[in-house]
Chain A
Amino acid sequence: MTCADCQKSLGALIDGELPAGEAARVEEHLANCPECAAARQRLLDTSARLKGELVRYKAPDVLKARIRATLTEPAHEDKPRPIALHPTRSARRWVRPLAAAGVIAIVSSGLTFVAMRDRAPANAVQNEVLASHIRSLIPGHLTDVASNDQHNVKPWFNGRVNLSPDVPRLDSVGFPLVGGRVDYIDGHNVATIVYTRRQHVINVFVWPATDLSNSAPEISGANGYNIIHVRRRGEEIWVVSDLNLAELRTFSALVIPRD
């Protein structure tokens, strides 16, 4: 075997793609040819470096949720909608088993995350907020009232939660309102107002504070989500999203009431 033949087969050899007989002939040549052996080593190093250093991405939860949502929509839709806010009646039949599977997958990963943390009880609230955010990404769970009009969303909370949350309209600055829902966090019914930024879902959780002093914004991150918490005007306000922190801060400056 010539060196040229050998080097042509090196890639297939290190990838385990060479038939056994041919591999044996290449190995035999390599045993006697330091130059080809060095070439093989270089190839192995390059391959190992690529495997070791290149990022394998995880599909974001929002993307998975969007895809699962589109599956449940009838085929007559021409284009995928960004987020399925309210599945049609016929689609609803499929949502439940899918959502159940999603809950198990997503919540169990959430639980692993919860189990891995051992911080003060203050973080228990953060974990509940984060779990609510993750759960909201499951198709059909994002909103109880879907509307881009704050005049529909704000009154919807009357009688459902213990306060009347601010629902600013921010679509002119790139944060369209999607709707609202009620969650249960820290022993309260909580008003959750839902916005989006591109494909990112932003949940704003608001409930009456027991501590009436204002707090400075606390920023934390967990599991790829950014979380901003502030206590203002007697309200606990949590903002959660997988949006980048810079844009999320811009957003929270717009939704969090000033003193």
Chain B
Amino acid sequence: MAEDTVERFERQVLPYLDDAYTLARYLLHDEHDAQDAVQDAALRAFRHFGSFRQGDGRAWLLTIVRNSCYDWHKSHRMDRATVSLGDDAEAVADPRYIADPAVQSSDRERVRAAVDALPAELREIIVLRELNDLSYREIAAVVGVPIGTVMSRLSRGRERLAAALGDDSRRAG
């Protein structure tokens, strides 16, 4: 392995560790699980760096991070409520993250609780779009679905959040 491989990896991929860690925190909830998943992803990315040609190191890394998170979830969290990753399944949200109005002291916490209550396949797309600022095409590549699916999931995710965050209204559903 040539030295410039490490240098190239440092330059093209490692600047996106914050993005990677953010995605992992929203997918796995637990900071230690997220760290382990990101470390695993970075190592996988480095091993397969030969197959990464040119292009967007960020979307590439996030693709691997997402896979690591779900692998992590599968291998370490079988005992917990499972997250459905089906293509258009309306997965049941993990009940631990359903918002309890009594503990939502701040707006920030309310927003976070609403996002955590989303099923994983909507939550990941919200995070990739609103926090990671990925284009639809990049999101489609990261998640491995057509752009049309990205659009419909993003739309459903935002509708649910708008409803959850609206003033006690139960408009969209």
Interface residues of A (CB under 8 A from B): 8, 11-12, 15, 17, 42-43, 45-47, 49-51, 53-60, 62-64, 66-68, 70-72, 75, 80, 93-94, 97-98, 101, 198-199
The main secondary structure of chain A at its interface with chain B is helix
Tell me the minimal C-beta distance from B140 to chain A in angstroms: 11
Q: Which residues of B contact A70 (CB under 8 A)?
A: 39, 42-43, 46
Q: Are B131 and A56 in contact (CB under 8 A)?
A: yes
A15 CA to B14 CA in the complex, in Å? 27
Point out the residues of chain B lying under 8 angstroms from A11, CB to CB: 151, 154-155, 158
- The residue from A12, A47, A53, A98 contacting B6, defined by CB atoms under 8 A apart: A98
Residue B161, interface by CB 8 Å: yes
Q: Are B155 and A59 in contact (CB under 8 A)?
A: no
Q: Is B20 an interface residue (CB 8 A)?
A: yes
A sample of 8 cross-chain residue pairs with beta-carbon separation below 8 angstroms, ordered by A number, consists of A11-B155, A62-B35, A64-B17, A80-B43, A94-B3, A97-B3, A98-B6, A199-B35
B130–A50 touching, CB < 8 Å: yes
Residues of A within 8 A of B122 (CB): none
**Do B161 and A50 have beta carbons less than 8 Å apart?**
yes
- In the bound assembly, the distance between CA atoms of A182 and B126 in angstroms comes to 47
In Å, the complex CA distance between A80 and B151 comes to 37
Interface size class of B (residues with CB under 8 A): 35 or more
Which A residues lie within 8 Å of B103 (CB)? none
- The answer to whether A54 and B20 touch (CB under 8 A), given A11-B155, A46-B158, A94-B6, is no
Give chain B's interface secondary structure class. helix
Question: Which residues of chain B (114-173) have a CB below 8 Å from chain A?
Answer: 115, 126-127, 129-131, 135-136, 151, 154-155, 158, 161-162, 165
- Measured in the bound complex, the distance between the Cα atoms of B111 and A199 in whole Å is 29
CB of A105 to closest CB in B, whole Å: 10
Q: How far is the CB of A15 from chain B (nearest CB, A)?
A: 7
Complex Cα distance A59/B126, Å? 20
CB neighbours (8 Å) of B25 from chain A are 55, 57
Give the one of B17, B130, B158 with max A CB within 10 A: B130
Check A66 against B135 for contact (C-beta < 8 Å).
no
Given contacts A54-B115, A198-B32, A199-B35, contact A46 B21 (CB under 8 A): no
